[in-house]
Structure 1
Amino acid sequence: MNPILAMLRENNISDQQISELFEALTQNPLAAMATISQLGLPQEQLQLLMGQVMQNPALIKEAVEELGLDFAKVEAAKEQLNN
């Protein structure tokens, strides 16, 4: 299992909330950051999560694929963010 998804599930984040988070990520990465902060993760878990994403961005792609979402939307959102 993807370590991002595992961490979220270990912290009792529902599958619905996880899907909503990654859908937000595909549409608006900045909004997804606000959504992450509202999940109520302990600060150290939140820092670990962000560290994993920074060190290995491929984890996002793996999580999106594991959830059955469209990774092309993540790429489009990333392009929008870079412009």
Structure 2
Amino acid sequence: MNPIIALLKENNISNEQINELFQTLTQNPLAAVATIGQLGLPPEKLQLLMGQVMQNPALIKEAVEELGLDFSKVEAAKAQLNK
């Protein structure tokens, strides 16, 4: 299991919330940041999660694919942000 998904599940984040988070991420990465904040993760767990993503951004792609979502949408949203 992807370590991001595992960390979220360890903190009682439901599969529905996880799917919603990554669905938001594929559509609007900035909105995903707000969604993460609403999950109620303890600060130390949130810091651990962000550290994992910063050290290995490919984890996001792996999680999106594990959930059966379309990673190309993440890339398209990222391209829009860089314009």
Q: Equivalent residues in 2 for 1:25-44 (5 A)?
A: 25-44=25-44
Shift of 1:81: 1.5
SS in 2 for 1:69: coil
Computed over aligned residues only, the root mean square deviation of the Cα atoms, in angstroms, reads: 0.6
Equivalent pairs, count: 83
Residue 73 in 1 paired to residue 81 in 2?
no
Unaligned runs of 5+ in 2: none
SS in 2 for 1:13: coil
Q: With the length of structure 2 as denominator, give the TM-score of the two structures.
A: 0.97
Identity among equivalent pairs (%): 82
Over 3 Å off, 4+ runs? none
Shift of 1:17: 0.4
Cα shift readout 1:55-76 (whole Å, capped 9, x = no counterpart): 1000000000000000111111
